[in-house]
Chains A and B, each alone.
Chain A
Amino acid sequence: MSIPSENTIRIYVMGSAYEVPRGLTIMDAMEHAGWRFTRGAGCRSGFCGACSTVYRHEGDYRLRFVLACQTEAEDGMYLVQLPFTPAPRVSYTLAALNPDENVLLQHYPEIARCVSCNTCTKACPQDIEVMDYVQAALRGDIAQTASLSFDCIQCGLCSMRCPADIKHYHMAQMARRVYGRYMSPITEHLEERIVEIEKGVYAEEVDALVKMTRGELEEIYAARVVE
């Protein structure tokens, strides 16, 4: 495919060709082409995971996976948006769990179907070692699962690609919750601060803030000392 002009590129959305200006993100390019996102768009800043996009370059056999709001549109991209991942999430009461090494396997038993094909990792727009955290979960290493999956934005592409139908991102979210509830070290200063608040140490200061006008608040905000 020849480039239509120096300043434009050709992209394909749902099979139709569009000529759009060069230098836009995939999301901006699609909007420029007249598409309106009713789903599959959220924070537009790379944090929410709503705009997971699958594309293929003309002439390339490989599917690629990105966030539409974070990736520049390129000439010859065949694009498809995935507005929703139909992955079931298990319900549980965090405080009532037995956080032993089998807790993840018990709630998401399909992780035992992992054959280490690594397709999940290749599908991750966040460059997370997805298979490695599934493997850590499989051997009951909750801390490692939580740590390796920390940058997950829950876009669901891993689960859409997995030949073993694992729900990686929901399982990892559970691991992070279990880690936070049962394993992460208690921060002493937070405990101390809660006691102070309950004793009413800051009550007077908060009351004064509540009574201030917007102008007064803006003034003290501008004058605040930043550590």
Chain B
Amino acid sequence: MNNTAYFPGCSLKAEASDYERSAAAVMEALGQPLEELERWTCCGTVYSLTDDDLMHQLASVRNLIRAQECGAEEIVTLCSMCFNTLKRSKVFIEQDAARLETVNAFMDEEPDYEGGIEVFHLLEILRDQVGFESIEGRVTRPLSGLRVAPYYGCTLLRPREIGIDEPDTPMILQDFIRTLWATPVEFAFQAECCGTYQIVDTPEMVLEKSHRILSSAMRAGAEVMVTSCPLCMHNLRLCYEELRSSLPEKRELSIVYWTQLAAIAFEVETGELPASMDKLLEGLPTSMELVR
């Protein structure tokens, strides 16, 4: 990796701590440990769509300044929402010198943001800098035969100018799943919105949307679903628990972070996995068994 600062975001320190633990272990195993940005603050979510609302860009820009201060060239995130907010904010603020000037003048207690800090999602770093082939070389427990649904949601892919892959026909998660020797299971709703923050006000709508996503993947034969977003994870798992009886298959679906899948294949710290995942793994040989 280049000179990269890891931006965790608030969820990764609370509800999604398993995501961080597994990602840290995976990157350690690849010899590229994550180095946490100092004094980071909330990314500024949700990204403000108002053109003249610079106040809601301050949080993102302040984090870019923190990266600049520690000499980093880029920020890497795990949370899709943080990725989306930080990158859109960066693009928005760097597009127009007047905006940047206003924001810098407001934050006169900080050094000016000079622009140019890149924002990446860890999946991009692995694809473009580390290379999926070196990941394949690190796999000690191939997940052969495991049928994994790649769930992208919205914030990794849209809007197009900041997305990490083609918004309508993304391949990055499928390629990653194949790298671990598992089988990607494509399904119709893999880039559909889970319902996001509407879970607070209109949970029934979120359950309906998430239900469509889960049933579609299960009908396609998935045993595992991977996501890169703590909020999607929250909604999907909630839906899975609440509406289990109305989901199509008798078989269980294990919803995990994509880094947890890699951690299993690397045989490193995975964080907590759903009980159904443990059952699936019983059928897969470990490296010790493979050696024998």
Contact = CB atoms under 8 A, between A and B. Distances in A.
B41 A116 contact: yes
Interface string B1-44: 00000000110011000000000000000000000000101101
Given A115-B55, A116-B62, A118-B107, A140 B41 contact: no
Contacts of A122: 109
Contacts of B212: none
Contact of B42 (A101, A121, A135): A135
Contacts of A141: 13
Contacts of A138: 10, 42
A190 to B, nearest CB: 31
A165 to B, nearest CB: 14
B109 A115 contact: no
B178 interface: no
Interface in A102-134: 102, 114-118, 121-122, 131-132
A101 B56 contact: no
Nearest to B57: A115
Interface residues of B, number: 16
A131 B42 CA distance: 11
Contacts, number: 42
B59 interface: yes
A135 B109 contact: no
Contacts of A135: 41-42
Q: State the main secondary structure of chain B at its contact with A.
A: loop
Given A139-B13, A139-B14, A140-B13, A116 B42 contact: yes
Contacts of B44: 115-116
Contacts of B56: 115
Interface string B150-177: 0000000000000000000000000000
Nearest to A118: B109
A119 B220 CA distance: 52
Nearest to B40: A135
Nearest to A132: B39
A163 interface: yes
A115 B13 contact: no
Nearest first, the 8 closest Cβ-Cβ pairs linking A and B are: A116-B59, A139-B10, A135-B41, A101-B14, A140-B14, A139-B13, A116-B41, A116-B58
Interface of B: 9-10, 13-14, 39, 41-42, 44, 55-56, 58-59, 62, 106-107, 109
